[in-house]
Structure 1
């Protein structure tokens, strides 16, 4: 295949996955608004997404716009440039904005006109991960700031600013490893996926597959797979998302497909919440 076609294919994959992943942020907020409730889903997912997409936006912008970061990357990866593209930046920005919107539906249900529900506050475990990621990235940035070679484009074995960007990008990776787990367990305990939008999962699954495909094409064009090893976060994001999305698809279409009607399931989910509200009145 000619390089021209491969570049076209890479761009096509990039924009289609950008559209799929970008649209995947909307179904949950629309479902919550339609139901006037966040019952059946947990705030841990969008809450961690706020941190993850902030880190992803910062790292992508650094890889794409910073001459210093790009030069340090090239020094470590045989003169190649990062595989981050402009659609990665726009995707991250959209994800950050929509994560804030969805999280606000859990934190401020009355302002949205929602019925207060269980799962509207982050769990202690997720709060610990949130703060731990910030602390870890902060320590690496502090170490790099004290390195005499931080601005060098030749000292590839020393602490340089590229390492701080890697640290920030790994925050997104850690978040992606963990953020789906609370919802998987939430669905398991409820024996239902009602309140958790399957449309966002289908879009996320499609975007994840195409993201990996784009990175593979980019690496093939460069005739060097360091396009993947040099940007492990983007590659890992797609694979982790595919794994968790497969679990959600199994829960929705196989494990809990014979659950009671949506209205009955919703009542069952809201029952404990009503009891909780009654005890706190």
Structure 2
């Protein structure tokens, strides 16, 4: 076996050693980015000072928060070389939602005809989409594509996409495609307009957000564990949602124009939905399953090329549910050694490939088998 397997274990150990500092570091970075960029760019033009500058800072702060919320999960998946604990349905709904959201924001910000149609329907008021909304949507789509790729290449246990999620995503895609086709091939000024097509995309995004968290909540419940689903991403996401809703309310109050909410309902609705489910995840992680968090039980590092799985557990046993998620119905032989000796030994290099065998140390279980 190549020595890169041992290096992956060291990467995972290093990332876990930095975990206590990752939360404060992320929140500090979010605040710094929000203030620096918020003051560096032009203030929101249609809002009087000093509220225009405050709105700009809030907007870039929640942009930084929501953007960073994707990376703890990506890093966790990489360190563990596994997506066990992450719902595949959640990722599919996420992909659908952010494709729609990116098209919606880009069209409202850069589409001159869309802006004109919006102003005609809202007494000359401009839409509430700002440049940070566009950057967030594009970054979110990119980060989601990275996570989808991880779901395709990393082991995911016995989890598969549900029939329901496939039907919902397919039906939503076909509906949006047909609506767009009709709106671009007819001169109708009624229902089938480009503006209404974009609103349809926004509602698909809102719908995807409403349902995407449910499979993850259910998966955590079934596993009685939140291991594999990053709590840091949840905390940062909640911060971004609170700031997003606060910005909309402040902008509406300052300009006495509440169409910033009624004209962009998806933005306000997304914030409310995200906050609700973020609270649910916090309850699962800190209250319902406090003994199975990442600090207590660790994660799973899988090396499919060599049939090696490293499971970090405080107390591993053959009946541990996390092991069943990795290799169902396998019988393991546990061999004791010391953690430091394990790192320096050739246990990974010399591990047999013929059948399931485990090298068990206080914090690491190495499962080797076909």
TM-score of the pair, normalised by structure 2: 0.68
Relative to structure 1, is the Cα distance of residues 183 and 116 closer, same or farther in structure 2, using a 3 angstrom cutoff? closer
Q: How many residues are matched?
A: 266
Relative to structure 1, is the Cα distance of residues 36 and 10 closer, same or farther in structure 2, using a 3 angstrom cutoff? same
Relative to structure 1, is the Cα distance of residues 21 and 54 closer, same or farther in structure 2, using a 3 angstrom cutoff? same
Match for residue 98 of structure 2?
Answer: 53
Task: Determine if contact 1:209/1:238 at 8 Å carries over to the other structure.
Answer: yes
Q: Distance in 1 between matches of 2:315 and 2:65?
A: 29
Does 2:184 align with 1:145?
Answer: yes
Within a 5 Å distance, the mapping from 1:239-250 to structure 2 comes to 239-250=272-283
Following TM superposition, by how much is the alpha carbon of 1:144 offset from its aligned partner in structure 2, in angstroms? 2.1
Which deviates more, 240-249 or 137-146? 137-146
Match for residue 50 of structure 2?
Answer: 5
Task: Determine if contact 1:83/1:218 at 8 Å carries over to the other structure.
Answer: no
Match for residue 194 of structure 2?
Answer: 161
Q: Aligned to 1:216, which of 229, 240, 249?
A: 249
| Cα-to-partner distance string for 1:192-214 (whole Å, 9 max, x where unaligned) | 11111000000100000111111
Structure 1: gaps (5+ residues): 110-114, 151-156
| Cα-to-partner distance string for 1:159-185 (whole Å, 9 max, x where unaligned) | 421111111222211111111110000
Following TM superposition, by how much is the alpha carbon of 1:234 offset from its aligned partner in structure 2, in angstroms? 0.8
Task: Determine if contact 2:226/2:292 at 8 Å carries over to the other structure.
Answer: no
The structure, 1 or 2, with the larger RCO (C-alpha pairs under 8 Å, 6+ apart) is 1
What SS is found at the alignment partner of 2:51? helix
Within a 5 Å distance, the mapping from 1:13-92 to structure 2 comes to 13-92=58-137
Following TM superposition, by how much is the alpha carbon of 1:276 offset from its aligned partner in structure 2, in angstroms? 5.8
Match for residue 157 of structure 2?
Answer: 117
Task: Determine if contact 1:27/1:200 at 8 Å carries over to the other structure.
Answer: yes
Relative to structure 1, is the Cα distance of residues 124 and 265 closer, same or farther in structure 2, using a 3 angstrom cutoff? farther
Relative to structure 1, is the Cα distance of residues 33 and 228 closer, same or farther in structure 2, using a 3 angstrom cutoff? same
What SS is found at the alignment partner of 1:247? helix
Q: Distance in 1 between matches of 2:255 and 2:117?
A: 18
Q: Rg bigger for which structure?
A: 2
Greater share of residues in strand: 2
Following TM superposition, by how much is the alpha carbon of 1:37 offset from its aligned partner in structure 2, in angstroms? 1.7
Q: Distance in 1 between matches of 2:329 and 2:271?
A: 39
Which deviates more, 131-140 or 176-185? 131-140
Relative to structure 1, is the Cα distance of residues 214 and 16 closer, same or farther in structure 2, using a 3 angstrom cutoff? same
**Dislocated runs of 4+, deviation >3 Å:** 258-261, 264-267
Q: Distance in 2 between matches of 1:99 and 1:148?
A: 36
RMSD, aligned CA: 2.1
Match for residue 261 of structure 2?
Answer: 228
Relative to structure 1, is the Cα distance of residues 100 and 265 closer, same or farther in structure 2, using a 3 angstrom cutoff? farther
Greater share of residues in helix: 1
Q: Distance in 2 between matches of 1:176 and 1:76?
A: 27
